[in-house]
Amino acid sequence: MRPSILRRLLRRVAPTAALALVAAMLGATGAAPPAAAAGGLQQVTGFGANPGNLQMYEYAPASLPANAPLVVALHGCTQTANDYYTNSGWPKYADLWGFAVVFPQTTAANNALSCFGWFDPAEDGRGRGEAASIVQMVEYAKQQYGSDGRRVYVTGLSAGGGMTADLLAAYPDVFAGGSVASGLPAQCATSQAGASGCQTGPQKLTPAQWGDKVRAAHPGYAGPWPRVAIWQGSADYTVYPANATALRDQWTDVWGIGQTPSATDSLPGSTTRSVYDDASGNPAVVTYSVSGMGHGLAVSPGSGAEQCGTTAAYFLNAICSTYHTGVFWGLDRDVPGGGEQLPAPSGLRVTDVSADRVSLSWDAVAGADSYAVRRDGAEVAATSGTTYTDTGLTAGTAYRYSVTALDGSGTPGTASPQVTATTTGGTPARCFTATNYAQVAAGRAHTTGGQVYANGSDQDMGLYNVFVTHTLRESPAGHFVIADAGCAA
């Protein structure tokens, strides 16, 4: 290909996967063919007017009951629906937990690299283009499967993650939750020229300014807002980690909560989870920072309950992000069924803590056959009584618990409000006051585009120089948050 032609093509292509453009051009002589239905993945035609010229693929387990959840999963640039179906792990949990998955697909007919148009106002706004096509797929699937319209979720990688954020902003009345993996904040760019700047470092906006972009996408909408998970690799040099910080700022502001996490903890794959609770004490926004991971979706091949996916281009071996996203949304416990749902257990309280255990108790629920106890969103026990002691814990660590009553058929009711228990002992939190330059030199922060970000939380600390000073609080080890207002060690 002549250089002049390549330069013209580069100007036409959205740059979310620009680093892969030359390889894509050298490796193919024409547009990639549409994904073929593989195994249980089936193509659907005639799902609507389809103003965005997308293709619809779907997967549903056998004997899917009515009123089950519905998940929409958006691939990244240079990928297909079949790539996402094969490698992401979503079919595993669709079978395990009982829900249908829609896999929208864009092609080179829309974008030379098959990127969703997260940067294009004609494609990513309410009632427009690709966004409207995706919502038409949702409506079609709801009718086809009898899905519960209150439990529709959307997730995506890279350009699919950028479109996910735009869909959550434009259609908060359609999606109850979202998960953005290595993606961009909603309405970060409104042109192809602006997309590159978003990838390497979005605008330095306040949380309120980021939140205003969401509120402007569906004027007059007052809630409820989707619950949002944000996945980001710390070594992602295609969509820089600053985007995760902007996403966190954007959606915490929309929820009306602060940017200081309610709790942080460590997960497998060198992953730090930070939870931001709503006014009721339930997680509204959760960030997952995967240390050392580049650009892609985190997977963890294997047969374990918390393992999923297959490693491939942009599917990186670290942790099963699909499992943790599904737990955050409640897919593991939202079992559909008829009858009246049991109420949430009241009076959940911590009765005792030690270095390696936490004891809980709660009030009985009439009609309950048993109770499911969850720690940090994952079920850890089922008990017929109203007390439980969780053992084998890490000293000096905060854990979050909730309890759900189950009826005689095992159908869960409403989860209780969460309580937090911190085990005794362990390494106490440490505080460090220094210039931005010194914080980076000491390994407590890193730089991107001349800005400094705290390791772990990715909070924006300002310019990389010796004139700006911050106090950082470390807890757990390797996770730092800005604590200029006071740092209780």
CB-based contact 204:460 (threshold 8 Å)? yes
Asked if 158 is an active-site residue, the reply is yes
Residue corresponding to tokens 């937990």: 97
Residue 394: name the closest of 420, 351, 418, 427 by CA: 427
What DSSP character marks residue 256?
Answer: T
CB-based contact 464:451 (threshold 8 Å)? yes
CB-based contact 399:393 (threshold 8 Å)? yes
Write out the DSSP string of 345-368.
PP--EEEEE-SS-EEEE----TT-
Choice among 133, 158, 274, 300 that is catalytic: 158
**CA 343 to CA 193: how far, in whole Å?**
52
149: left (phi over 0), alpha (psi -120 to 50) or beta: alpha
**CA 159 to CA 165: how far, in whole Å?**
10
**CA 343 to CA 14: how far, in whole Å?**
49
**Distances from the Cα of 234 to the Cαs of 242, 257, 290, 465, in angstroms?**
10, 24, 6, 21
**CA 145 to CA 51: how far, in whole Å?**
23
Kindly state the tokens that stand for 410: 């095992």
**Is cis: bond before 241, omega within 30 of 0?**
no
Kindly state the tokens that stand for 94: 């669709």
172: left (phi over 0), alpha (psi -120 to 50) or beta: alpha
Which residues are known to be catalytic? 158
